[in-house]
Amino acid sequence: MKIKGNVIRYNDNVDTDVIIPARYLNTSNPKELAAHCMEDLDPTFVSRVKKGDIIVAGANFGCGSSREHAPIAIKESGIACVIAKSFARIFYRNAINIGLPIVECDVDAGEGDVLTVDFDAGVIVNETKGTSANFSAFPPFLKTIIESGGLLAAVREGKL
């Protein structure tokens, strides 16, 4: 799989409370959640995000609560992939379990840069800056979940 998109850039420790504030957790409707995605950190996110955009962030992305509503809101917003230096562990597994592509990589990218992510080759190319970075592939177990289309699909198919 290969994707190409514009970067929306954030710093370290983007927590799940800013990704989707708890005051909106009285619903699990993806569209309602996406309407408030990133609201407390970046009120412009919802109006400027375009299908296929890529979030690039620093360390510990998705820290805080276990709310799966966070990756659901990001995915529903049209974000094609989240690249971060590191992910908080519950967010990491939630993203894999619901099929939101994520990449752990310290990539040099600024707001608006155009990135190409090649998941099979494990390479991110920054088309704007002319730089590239490598990332390691998922271990086989996680690859099975991703290729099955999520955890429950893998369970149903008896692959785990």
Is residue 73 part of the contact set for another protein (CB under 8 A)? no
- Strands 2-9, 54-57: parallel, antiparallel or unpaired by DSSP? parallel
Is residue 143 part of the contact set for another protein (CB under 8 A)? no
Task: Please state the closest distance from residue 30 (CB atom) to another protein, in A.
Answer: 10
Cross-strand bridge partners of residue 15:
63
**Based on CB atoms, which residue is closest to another protein, 46 or 142?**
142
Sketch the per residue contact string, 27 through 66, with another protein: x for CB under 8 A, - otherwise. xx----------xxx-----------------xx--xxxx
Distance separating alpha carbons of residues 101 and 98, to the nearest angstrom: 9
Distance separating alpha carbons of residues 117 and 102, to the nearest angstrom: 10
C-alpha pair distances (Å), 115 with each of 107, 118, 127, 159: 10, 10, 6, 33
Which residues here bind another protein, judged by CB under 8 A?
Answer: 13, 15, 17-18, 21-23, 25-28, 39-41, 59-60, 63-69, 72, 86, 88-90, 93-94, 97-98, 139, 141-142, 145, 150-153, 155-156, 160
